[in-house]
Amino acid sequence: TPERAWLGEVSAVVLQQSLRDLDTAYRNFFAGLKGKRPRMGAPRYKSRKDTRQAVRFTANARWSITPGQKLRLPKIGDLKVKWSRVLPSTPSTVTVVKDGAGRYFASFVVETGPEEVLP
């Protein structure tokens, strides 16, 4: 419908991930009320004062790092990246964060060995 057309502008995996995060937050909250885990506060809405935005792409979203060292995100395209270090293994998840100053940062989840300490 025209009212929900904006949902097609982003990857479906991102929308599903946000629902999964909300479900985890409520499960942890109610498990704390029942005494099954430490007590946690109720999930809160986003703050109007915090302008940070984040989006997380899992492996199911089909994101990739191109041979030209660009980050390819679904429904966004290829992004030029300034790499701070070489990734030790293939990443499973990428989180893109936009801070209040309008800068973008990408954070990767990678597998490392128990003896390997990264800066």
Q: What is the pTM of this model?
A: 0.76
Residue 62 Rama label (left phi>0; alpha psi -120 to 50; beta): left
Q: Would you kindly state where each structural domain of the chain is located, as residue ranges? A: 2-109
CB atoms within 10 A of CB 69: 10
Q: What is the pLDDT of residue 44?
A: 83
Tens digit of pLDDT per residue, the chain (119 long)? Answer: 889 888 888 888 888 888 998 999 999 999 999 888 888 888 888 778 888 888 889 888 889 999 989 999 998 899 999 999 888 888 999 999 999 899 999 999 998 877 767 66
